[in-house]
Structure 1
Amino acid sequence: MTNSNFGSKLSFSRRKALAISGALLLGPLVPELEFTPSAFAQTAEQTTITITDELGREVTLKAPIKAVYTDLWYQTEIVRAIGAGDAIVAIDQTSNPKKNAANKDYFAKFADLPDAGNFNGPNWETIATSGAEVFFTRRNAPWQDAIEKLKPFGIEVVVVSTWDPKVLRAQLPNLGKIFGAEKGAADLAQLYDDIEKLLAERLNGVEPKKVYFENNADFVTSLPGSGWHDTIVLGGGKNIFGDITIANTGSASVHTYTVDPVEIINRNPDVIIHNGVDGQASGYAPWDQELLAEQVQRVVDRPGWNSIKAVQDKNVFVFNNFFFSALGKQIGALAVAKWLYPDRLADVDVDAYFGRWLKAQGVEARPVAEYAYKLGD
């Protein structure tokens, strides 16, 4: 099999394929199996570097790497945004445009790459045979399994949760070094810092408004430890369920925590922000405004919700995660600030910042209005 982005892949005989399958099952028990990522990586001028990833793990690898498996669309976006998209040699199902029509154009470049399937339990053989030098993953992914399964093939594991704004910003210099894309990483860091500076200036002295964030399902919210919670805080809000702390074991619990609907009413948020529309996949393709409006109405029509301040003031928003999660959700934080404090950010054009992100992705800019809707608009 060949990959136009990365030259010729190795040809695996049936014997080698069986050996790989066995190695993935046995992990480090079969170190005698040698695997060369690619002919291109052999001839590229690389030097040994050691970086410290998000978890404090020291990872030594040859840089710049020329082949990477990105285990979620957040990871794919960041690698491409810093200018290293050609290094992606395998993807998971969320980065496969054939599996999400909303990203048909956005991820078209990766359509013919090997797909390792579900990001929570990927096909390790697909990754091992892809030619990847690095498994680029997140803290809420099976990174421990990846270390065990992929070590025999010389595939290093780098953990950077690119959905977490603060983690992403802290790790951008490392990503630049790993991929030999220091300029692209610095440009992305500048975009992040421009937003951070703006938020600090415009939100100085605000009394945080109470926000109920709902994540893709009725009465499901997000807690501290999730990027969603961070967007609320960075945007000048106060998560009404921010007082709930649970052990973050890497599971989805902090991202999708079910709450009592009566408690939502009792906590009386100033603003309600809902992620998602039933039946609509998040992606680059704009959402139907009628469907967004219908989702807003479904939220406000819940029994007893007419007593909530956010509903009374028509401060209810529904959005498409594609725009909100851009740049590790830093674009989302800016949108939250604009929604919560429209007077303070009256002259701030969120589209301008979002456009810089889309330019880094190599696609045409689109307005945030195509991905979000406010009650009463």
Structure 2
Amino acid sequence: MRKVQTISLIVVGIIIVAAAGIYFATTENDDPGEKEKTGNDGLGDEEKTITITDSLGNEVEIELPVKKVCLTNTNAAKFMQILGVADLVTAADETTISLLPEIYGDVKDLGEYKSPDGETILSTGSKILICQSSARSITNSEELESQGIQIVRLDCYGETMLTDLEQLVAIFGSSTQERADKYTQIYNGVVDSVLGLDSGSDEKPVFMFMFLSLKKPYAVTSELSKITESIGATNCIGILDPDTTGSTSKIQAESILDYDNEHGIDRILIRGTIDGVSTAQSEYSKFLDINTLYEDLNAISAGNVYVIDTDVLSGPLDHVGYVCIAEALGYETGELSAAKLVQDFNDEFGFTYDKTEFVFKIDMASS
């Protein structure tokens, strides 16, 4: 009887040990503190490739590790800083360097964004160039590719912005995920708050949004028109020129004025540059210089003209742009302060934006 009991105990012990082995074998990777390493971080000493999706929806295969990268896209440069990998940038276009000298002042200058020099790119040890896919894309891609330089088109603004951010994380590794998640949390929180604002009216204001540098109003298909309409307004250009497929409309000032006289345009929003040279008032004057007929718009006599700083209307700060657009449409934004949001952005991600005002109601008495 004891022999049987002894054998039974041995069998039970074997089962327990085996079960424990199976448990630890199947749970050793379940430690919540140890995440799967991806991109550059998941290589060890190996080389491999990763496939991402660019802003055009095309799959792009990239060789890892990516230790050096060049840029002709200022928004991508900003996201490199947000992710904590700005030190991997070896060259950038002249605009990016001039706008972010505290971050990229020491990298090589590629000149104009549209035609970066391939020899300069290669001289830095990089074989990858990140550029935009559309509005500010490069014009010499075939030449660069013939030199062995890979073109990666990530806009990092507009509808693909957060998706493009995910592609950067996929390339540069899981160590960047926490910073990406932090940015996305901030961005979505502000946007959701703006979209939840109550206008206090059942009627949507009608607006015209002027892209000052192109001297054209935004079409209903543009990203800024979509944002403004999502907050609760109607773009008059969508009524006047509904078939436009580009981001801006060629509609004439005469047609806009006729519509205004018959139906009314409640708000005029102007995308302008506010810096040491240009002020909101000077940007407004440029708007009137586009066509003298604009002086007769009802929104001007009503004092409902707003200039919004371009810095917050595209790229990583466009959640601040949501707040500014809401203010221009007449919403009470409460605790959503554009100045505080930008300061928080500086503190969190190491930027040095020193502006405190981003939306300006034009003083008609001074005009």
TM-score (structure 1 length as normaliser): 0.71
Q: After superposition, what is the alpha-carbon deviation per residue over 1:51-77, rounded to whole angstroms, capped at 9, x for unaligned?
A: 122222111223452211111222211
The answer to which of 232-241 and 181-190 deviates more is 232-241
- The residue aligned with 2:107 is 113
Q: Is 1:352 aligned to residue 346 of structure 2?
A: no
Q: Give, as a single letter, the amino acid of the residue that structure 2 aligns with 1:179.
A: F
The answer to which of 42-51 and 227-236 deviates more is 42-51
1:160–1:171 contact (8 Å) kept in structure 2? yes
Q: Which has the larger radius of gyration?
A: 2
Q: After superposition, what is the alpha-carbon deviation per residue over 1:276-298, rounded to whole angstroms, capped at 9, x for unaligned?
A: 25xxxx6xxx4468x32243356
Aligned residue for 1:295, secondary structure, equals helix
Aligned residue for 2:316, secondary structure, equals coil
2:198–2:331 contact (8 Å) kept in structure 1? no
1-structure distance, mates of 2:163, 2:253? 36
- The structure-2 alpha-carbon separation of the partners of 1:224 and 1:129, relative to structure 1 and needing over 3 Å to count, comes to farther
2-structure distance, mates of 1:152, 1:244? 41
Q: After superposition, what is the alpha-carbon deviation per residue over 1:64-118, rounded to whole angstroms, capped at 9, x for unaligned?
A: 5221111122221122222221111111121122xxxxx3xx3233223222222
- The residue aligned with 1:122 is 116
- The residue aligned with 1:75 is 76
2:308–2:324 contact (8 Å) kept in structure 1? no
2-structure distance, mates of 1:117, 1:145? 13
Q: Give, as a single letter, the amino acid of the residue that structure 1 aligns with 2:341.
A: Y
The alignment covers a number of residue pairs equal to 311
- The residue aligned with 2:299 is 310
Aligned residue for 2:167, secondary structure, equals helix
2:268 alignment partner, one of 253, 272, 275: 272
Higher helix share: 2
- The structure-2 alpha-carbon separation of the partners of 1:128 and 1:109, relative to structure 1 and needing over 3 Å to count, comes to same
Identity in percent:
20
1-structure distance, mates of 2:363, 2:137? 43
Measure how far apart 1:163 and its partner are. Answer: 2.8
Q: Give, as a single letter, the amino acid of the residue that structure 2 aligns with 1:149.
A: E
- The residue aligned with 2:179 is 184
Q: Is 1:330 aligned to residue 319 of structure 2?
A: yes
- The residue aligned with 1:202 is 197
2:132–2:138 contact (8 Å) kept in structure 1? yes
Aligned residue for 1:158, secondary structure, equals strand
1-structure distance, mates of 2:251, 2:198? 29
2-structure distance, mates of 1:142, 1:347? 38
Q: After superposition, what is the alpha-carbon deviation per residue over 1:117-154, rounded to whole angstroms, capped at 9, x for unaligned?
A: 222222233223332242212221546852x3344555
- The structure-2 alpha-carbon separation of the partners of 1:329 and 1:347, relative to structure 1 and needing over 3 Å to count, comes to closer
1-structure distance, mates of 2:234, 2:166? 30
2-structure distance, mates of 1:69, 1:218? 28
Q: Is 1:51 aligned to residue 27 of structure 2?
A: no
Q: After superposition, what is the alpha-carbon deviation per residue over 1:333-367, rounded to whole angstroms, capped at 9, x for unaligned?
A: 23101221333x23321223222333355234545
Q: Give, as a single letter, the amino acid of the residue that structure 1 aligns with 2:212.
A: N
2-structure distance, mates of 1:298, 1:144? 30
Q: After superposition, what is the alpha-carbon deviation per residue over 1:286-345, rounded to whole angstroms, capped at 9, x for unaligned?
A: 4468x32243356469645454332133121123312332416332223101221333x2
Matches within 5 A, 1:1-377: 47-63=48-64, 65-97=66-98, 103=99, 106-140=100-134, 141-142=136-137, 145-146=140-141, 148-151=142-145, 154-164=148-158, 166-180=159-173, 181-202=176-197, 207-217=203-213, 219-242=215-238, 243-248=241-246, 254-255=247-248, 257-268=249-260, 269-276=265-272, 286-287=275-276, 291-296=279-284, 299=287, 303-305=292-294, 307-327=296-316, 329-343=318-332, 345-364=333-352, 366-369=354-357, 371-376=358-363
User: Where does the alignment leave 5 or more consecutive residues of structure 2 unmatched?
Assistant: 1-42
Aligned residue for 2:234, secondary structure, equals strand
1-structure distance, mates of 2:184, 2:314? 16
Q: After superposition, what is the alpha-carbon deviation per residue over 1:11-40, rounded to whole angstroms, capped at 9, x for unaligned?
A: xxxxxxxxxxxxxxxxxxxxxxxxxxxxxx
User: Where does the alignment leave 5 or more consecutive residues of structure 1 unmatched?
Assistant: 1-41, 98-102, 249-253
Q: Give, as a single letter, the amino acid of the residue that structure 2 aligns with 1:374.
A: K
Bigger relative contact order, structure 1 or 2, given CA contacts below 8 A and separation 6+? 1
- The residue aligned with 1:22 is none
Measure how far apart 1:186 and its partner are. Answer: 1.5
2-structure distance, mates of 1:208, 1:125? 53
Q: Give, as a single letter, the amino acid of the residue that structure 2 aligns with 1:160.
A: L
